[in-house]
């Protein structure tokens, strides 16, 4: 099977994160749809829209490192230098999670960046990486091991998608004891869903900023088509790593209903229901990860990676078979449905 192709040119990586609230550029400039004809039965598809790159030229001038940045929902403040330090996880809401182990808060130099910098202290994750809260600890260890060995790769083979490159670096460097501590910590944190799924055919024009979309401040509209666009309503809170901010995801009309069908009944004669393995409401079972309430663009990137067999870790075989039988419409549908489910496992429900 061919891999996904891209017609884009390599960008220059400039900084770990774009820190300016207003640094958005039109999606069309950086996520040009390279209409690649499928050579054989849908084997090659253009999914560049699923990997919004951090465009060069939008990084603000180096910010002052002395003044404190604040968020509307936290009494704390951090400097811009702290907010862009890969060896530090800014913790806006310490009350929302257990105390972080050192590896999650500060990582270990050289090469093991703080897990909490990207996946956030609560493990809620951001759309360009992954939610880790509530994943089974053994699954976390296995995935990092698979990323290290190269068995698990991203479906994106175009120019550098920096978050994944950095995760690979972490996987290559992390010590076994640190990984175990991080896995145990994230497995014990409850996942809060942070996304609202919106079915719509025409969307406000979107622009790429810091690995995610925002509404283009210049206005205008575009056709969603067969895409799932997850975007930050407040780009500044996204950039400052607010773990309470909610994202929105535009999906084509009818997606959630179709997704529910696939999740609960499968595709006749081809795919078992997702819930037969991921459990009712997709909250996960045993070592099989939960899907409920997680970022739909993350879930979709993984489905594509199983389909292209870029994700071929030790537990990937059943998912490769599932994804082979789904087309993009179905994958978007089921990712949208899963994202809208409550992430809480029944056993973790509070009792009153």
Residues in contact with ligand HEC by the rule CB under 6 A: 103, 112-115, 117-119, 128-130, 132, 135, 140, 143-144, 154, 163-164, 166-167, 170, 174, 179, 182, 262, 271-272, 274, 276-278, 288-289, 291, 299, 301-303, 313, 315-316, 318-319, 322, 334
Nearer to ligand HEC, 60 or 166 (CB): 166
Q: Answer for the pair 79, 62: CB distance below 8 angstroms, yes or no.
A: no
Phi, psi of 29 (to 5 degrees): -75, -30
- Name the pairing type of β-strands 195-199 and 247-251: parallel
Q: Which residue has the tokens 């099989």?
A: 288
Nearer to ligand HEC, 221 or 327 (CB): 327
Measured from the CB of residue 180, what is the shortest distance to ligand HEC in angstroms? 9
Q: Answer for the pair 228, 247: CB distance below 8 angstroms, yes or no.
A: no
Measured from the CB of residue 49, what is the shortest distance to ligand HEC in angstroms? 15
Nearer to ligand HEC, 30 or 326 (CB): 326
Measured from the CB of residue 69, what is the shortest distance to ligand HEC in angstroms? 20
DSSP state of 217: T
Measured from the CB of residue 125, what is the shortest distance to ligand HEC in angstroms? 8
Strand, helix or coil for residue 332: helix
Nearer to ligand HEC, 205 or 342 (CB): 342
Strands of 212-215's sheet in order across: 25-26, 206-209, 212-215, 229-231, 247-251, 195-199
In our burial notation (b when 16+ CB lie closer than 10 A, e otherwise), range 166-192 reads bbbbbbebbeeebbbbbbebbbebbbb
Measured from the CB of residue 161, what is the shortest distance to ligand HEC in angstroms? 8
Nearer to ligand HEC, 24 or 336 (CB): 336
């Amino acid at each position: 099977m061919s891999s996904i192709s891209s017609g884009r040119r390599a960008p220059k990586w400039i900084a770990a994160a774009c820190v300016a609230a207003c640094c958005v550029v039109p999606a069309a400039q950086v996520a040009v749809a390279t209409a690649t004809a499928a050579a054989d039965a849908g084997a090659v598809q253009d999914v560049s829209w699923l990997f919004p790159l951090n465009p060069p030229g939008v990084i603000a001038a180096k910010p002052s490192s002395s003044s404190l940045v604040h968020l509307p929902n936290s009494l704390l403040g951090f400097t811009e230098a702290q907010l862009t330090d890969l060896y530090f996880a800014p913790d806006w809401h310490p009350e929302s999670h257990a105390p972080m182990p050192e590896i999650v808060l500060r990582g270990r130099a050289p090469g093991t960046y703080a897990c909490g910098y990207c996946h956030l202290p609560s493990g809620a994750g951001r759309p360009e990486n992954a939610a880790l809260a509530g994943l089974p600890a053994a699954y976390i260890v296995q995935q990092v091991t698979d990323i290290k060995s190269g068995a698990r790769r991203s479906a994106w083979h175009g120019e550098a998608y920096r978050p994944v490159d950095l995760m690979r670096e972490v996987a290559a460097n992390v010590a076994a004891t640190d990984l175990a501590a991080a896995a145990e910590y994230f497995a014990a944190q409850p996942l809060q869903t942070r996304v609202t799924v919106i079915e719509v055919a025409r969307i406000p024009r979107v622009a790429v900023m810091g690995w995610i979309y925002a509404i283009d401040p210049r206005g205008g509209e575009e056709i969603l088509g067969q895409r799932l666009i997850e975007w930050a309503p407040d780009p500044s809170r996204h950039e400052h790593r607010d773990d309470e901010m909610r994202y929105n995801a535009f999906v084509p009309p009818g997606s959630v209903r179709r997704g529910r069908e696939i999740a609960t009944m499968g595709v006749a004669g081809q795919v078992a229901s997702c819930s037969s393995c991921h459990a009712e409401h997709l909250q996960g079972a045993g070592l099989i990860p939960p899907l409920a309430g997680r970022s739909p663009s993350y879930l979709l990137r993984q489905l594509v990676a199983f389909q292209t067999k870029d994700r071929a870790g030790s537990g990937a075989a059943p998912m490769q078979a599932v994804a082979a039988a789904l087309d993009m419409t179905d994958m978007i549908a089921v990712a949208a449905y899963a994202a809208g489910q409550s992430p809480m496992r029944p056993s973790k429900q509070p009792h009153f």
